Structure 1
């Protein structure tokens, strides 16, 4: 099926920093993700894709990270309260000690609801490089980023809130989420990328990581969703076994360029080739 050329437009940035976020890939994804009644994202992450969709009426957005989903849900229900808490953290805790105190209270489960949501936003914008990483005990363990004046993303939060009324957010893995996909749905999957040969990759975004068996299960679940009538799009690395896996299951493969944003130095962030697989 022919696809259109990337469309020139201004895209909305998400309010979270997100390693592996798809903001830089939006022109390519915009032309490859088909229109449909509902967009389903089993790995919603920072949310660049759904925030910029004008092809879908509603959204089912899932992630295994419960703190992320709590933030999204709280902003949907009580945005003013979350924003008020977050502004307070930004104003009072912009130093190493304040950051570590907040992180400890967060890990000790001393916060709930809107306050915990605001703390997660604060930690994301103040931690090293915006990484979201947990240890095996489920504790957020990213160090302080030492930024002089972290940006408070008020406009980006407002843009999210405007779209959130058409969204359902669930804390779930991809297997459960994809069972909900069927006729009229479009599925976009952005799983942790399969490491290229000779590299370590970054798969400990949630405790337990993301294994090769998970990659294969994801494809099986996507094929089943397609058989129920859903259109499916997956982005991933160009690891040879990923390409082979997608080809074996009948995906059309598109090679696209993406700017990596996980290096701590902007000058060393590089352009890499990604795969966008369409079924």
Structure 2
């Protein structure tokens, strides 16, 4: 294994205020909007950016270093929304606007959730319903039960924001994107020379804590963390540049060190409940290969 350089200090932020960052149109647990200044300095330029865990899309939406994008996630509803916005953005926006206008109460929310879970909606309508549920459900959580049904409760927001401007920005970028409903193993097999890979997997919980790792039906295990590191090394050996975000769990640091990554510690603003007053600053790892 090659030697690792550990950079323990928090990266400076002196230029962060000089750029306006594009917000995603979805609420997304673990989204990287607050880390964009640091990530922008660490993610290198390349022809294509590959994200196996695209989530809310903060990183690719703010990329000016890449011409094309391969964006993947295991959540089929997320990828359906992105695909529908890439081909019929006006229709999805129209459906979503109707949902926001008519169903802004608990009864409307539950009715939409039931219809969504019935699997009877066509692609554009289902995409709009997913957006509606995301912006109206409790804390913007995306969670399914064992039967594959969306089961997050109503958020009781007085006037949820309709992200029309953000939807248009996304749709304008989508012609440069390929969206895949796929796991990281399949996605990373497509990475090679000229590609830049950014991985934002479910974070490994710190010792003594529990974390949200429901990346898929079986969760995201330590074996998955190990497999991800190995897949990234293989992609690097094929010519790709790789960047991974994760927690500072000791075994994560050890894993990345063993595989030759350069580690950077960055500060991250973490929302630990639904109240803005209970947000804290934590330290994340950004590993570069």
Does TM, scored on the shorter chain, surpass 0.5? yes
Residue 86 of structure 2 corresponds to: 76
1:24 pairs, out of 34, 39, 52, with 34
Equivalent residues in 2 for 1:235-246, closer than 5 Å:
235-246=245-256
2:109 pairs, out of 99, 103, 116, with 99
Residue 152 of structure 1 corresponds to: 162
Q: In structure 1, how many angstroms separate the alpha carbons of the residues matched to 2:103 and 2:97? A: 10
Q: Tell me the TM-score normalized by structure 1.
A: 0.97
Equivalent residues in 2 for 1:188-203, closer than 5 Å:
188-203=198-213
For the 8 Å contact 1:133–1:206, the answer to whether it is kept is: no
Residue 72 of structure 2 corresponds to: 62
Q: In structure 1, how many angstroms separate the alpha carbons of the residues matched to 2:218 and 2:271? A: 23
For the 8 Å contact 1:20–1:262, the answer to whether it is kept is: no
Instruction: Render the CA deviation track for 1:39-82: whole Å, top value 9, x for unaligned.
Output: 00000000000000000010000000000000000000000000
Q: In structure 1, how many angstroms separate the alpha carbons of the residues matched to 2:90 and 2:121? A: 17
Residue 95 of structure 2 corresponds to: 85
1:125 pairs, out of 125, 128, 135, with 135
Structure 2 gaps of 5+ residues are none
For the 8 Å contact 1:134–1:204, the answer to whether it is kept is: no
- What root-mean-square deviation, in Å, do the aligned CA atoms of Structure 1 and Structure 2 show? 1.3
Equivalent residues in 2 for 1:1-279, closer than 5 Å:
6=13, 7-8=15-16, 9-279=19-289
Instruction: Render the CA deviation track for 1:84-137: whole Å, top value 9, x for unaligned.
Output: 000000011111111011111111102121000000000000000001111122
How far 1:261 moved relative to its partner? 2.7
Q: Secondary structure at the match of 1:89?
A: helix
